[in-house]
Amino acid sequence: MKQSLSHQELHRQNTEFKDTGGVSEENRCEGFQAAFFNTESNTAEIARFADGSPAPFHILDGVPTDWVTERDDAGKIVAVRSTIIAGFIRDGVFYTREQASCLCTQDNAKKAELQLVS
């Protein structure tokens, strides 16, 4: 059974995808917005702070309440359903971390080619 998505899992993913374009700080300039996708309902939501404002990185605080599976004693979200995956939205399309990484790699290769030609 797949584990719930938690802060610890988000940290692990950020470590895994560092320097690949699969983390927010590396792909924001390419038009990617941190987001979550619910594989059960096929819906995507951009990452948000608890007040509803868009977050520039993955944070569980603003996910829909029906996605939440665990809160701490203070009511802060600790984990969400196992059907939720972290990724990104660009131009209205959801991309997994792997897909964003591939696109950033391709985009960077094209930019390098253009610089060689100029």
73-115 pLDDT per residue, tens: 999 999 999 999 999 999 999 999 999 998 887 655 555 454 5
pTM of the model as a whole: 0.85
Domain boundaries, position 47: 5-117
Q: What gap in Å lies between CA 50 and CA 61, rounded to an integer?
A: 5
Three-class secondary structure of residue 77 per DSSP: strand
Number of domains in the chain: 1
pLDDT at position 29: 85
